[in-house]
């Protein structure tokens, strides 16, 4: 926003040392009509710049100070408080295109609590800092989409709640206007995802809960299941699954294998291999804990003991009741 321009009001001293209702035209074409006290603009007056801008209101010590109205030649209009020549305090600013702001100003900028309504009927109410939406606020688009949460540099940033027009909603972290971090995404049909997001997509560890009670805990990338995961059916049957870009590669029911017993991390594991010895896990392969919380990728086991392998942690179990409680 353009800074309120003030001219050399002291030049008026040449024309009026002490007067009320003075009318003066300066050499540069600016005009002033109003109160002058001891050669200083003090009281009510109107200052008209040669370029067309206009201020009507109260003056103190040659500067707008108090209540007034400033009109720019481009059609903008500010009505509110001034202090030492700048917009400071409460006021209203309207643009020629129909945009409108009402709220706090500091040093000529929208700063503090305020309400901004765009010409297309989008609207925001909340905190501003140096003309930008910064801090907590609520945004409602003319389409019906709505957001309530934190902003930075005019964008959704931090924790917030975004509601889509079609009934979908997201509650969680945003970075620079997109879903990034931990969050919960709900669909109108009752399906729900709880987990990690990267640039607006489900990526990383997460839990997908279907409305019929089926739960998948595993890894996602670009909104698709990718990597190891555990699918749990409402009948308590669990499966270890491997996915690649949303396509399932393998699915194995998780159950105890008495011929390849394995204890690791104080848990019982399922491991299957023809090389098992005396009912103990022995050889190479993939193992999964019976509770479905861990997978050992590229594992190597010797007589029921873990020797080597990559430990993959499966996202923690989440019940539908827990997610509803967290949303509320």
pLDDT attached to residue 319: 72
Query: What pLDDT sits at residue 24?
Result: 86
pLDDT in the model for residue 298: 96
Residue from 55, 54, 6, 47 nearest 25 by CA: 47
Measured in whole angstroms, the distance separating CA 159 from the mean position of its chain's CA atoms is 6
Q: Return d(Cα 186, Cα 75) in angstroms, integer.
A: 44
Which single residue is written with the structure tokens 């010409």?
A: 119
What pLDDT is stored for residue 45 in this prediction?
A: 95
Distance CA 77, CA 2 (A): 12
| Rounded Cα–Cα distance for residues 59 and 150 (Å) | 38
Cα angle 116, 118, 121; round to 5: 110
Residue 10 has φ and ψ, to the nearest 5°, of -65, -15
On whether the CB atoms of residues 124 and 137 are closer than 8 A, the answer is: yes
Name residue 313's beta-bridge partners.
294
Structural domains of the chain ordered from first start: 1-92 (2.20.110), 257-313 (no CATH)
The C-alpha atoms of residue 89 and residue 104 are separated, in whole angstroms, by 5
pLDDT for 61: 92
Task: Please report which helix (H) or strand (E) contains residue 320, including its range.
Answer: helix 320-327
Q: What is the mean pLDDT of each run of 10 residues along the chain (328 residues)?
A: 37 45 86 90 94 96 96 98 97 98 98 98 98 98 98 98 98 98 98 97 97 96 97 94 96 96 96 96 97 97 97 88 59
Q: How far apart, in whole angstroms, are the C-alpha atoms of residue 108 and residue 284?
A: 70
């Amino acid at each position: 926003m353009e800074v309120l321009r003030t001219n050399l009001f002291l030049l008026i001293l040449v024309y009026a040392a002490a007067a009320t209702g003075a009318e003066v035209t300066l050499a540069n074409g600016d005009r002033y009509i109003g109160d002058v006290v001891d050669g200083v603009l003090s009281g009510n007056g109107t200052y008209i710049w040669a370029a067309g801008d206009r201020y009507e209101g109260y003056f103190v010590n040659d500067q707008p100070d108090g209540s007034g109205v400033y009109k720019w030649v481009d059609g903008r209009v500010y009505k509110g408080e001034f202090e030492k020549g700048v917009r400071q305090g409460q006021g209203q600013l309207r643009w020629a295109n129909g945009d409108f702001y009402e709220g706090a100003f500091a040093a000529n900028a929208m700063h503090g609590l305020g309400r901004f309504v765009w010409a297309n009927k989008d609207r925001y109410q909340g905190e501003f800092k140096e003309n930008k939406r910064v801090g907590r606020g609520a945004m409602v688009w003319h389409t019906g989409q709505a957001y309530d949460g934190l902003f930075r540099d005019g964008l959704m940033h931090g924790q917030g709640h975004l509601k889509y027009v079609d009934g979908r909603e997201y509650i969680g972290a945003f970075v620079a206007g997109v879903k990034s971090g931990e969050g919960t995404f709900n669909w109108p049909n009752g399906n729900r995802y709880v987990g990690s997001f990267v640039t607006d997509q489900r990526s990383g560890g997460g839990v997908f809960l279907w409305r019929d009670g089926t739960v998948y805990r595993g890894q996602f990338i670009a909104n698709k299941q990718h990597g190891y995961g555990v699918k749990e059916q409402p009948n308590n049957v669990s499966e270890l699954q491997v996915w690649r870009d949303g396509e399932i590669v393998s699915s194995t029911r998780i159950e105890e294998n008495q011929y390849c017993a394995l204890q690791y991390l104080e848990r019982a594991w399922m491991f299957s291999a023809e090389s098992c010895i005396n009912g103990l896990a022995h050889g190479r392969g993939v193992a999964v804990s019976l509770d479905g919380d861990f997978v050992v990728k590229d594992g190597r086991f010797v007589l029921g003991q873990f020797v080597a392998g990559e430990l993959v942690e499966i996202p923690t179990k989440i019940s539908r009741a827990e997610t509803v409680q967290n949303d509320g």
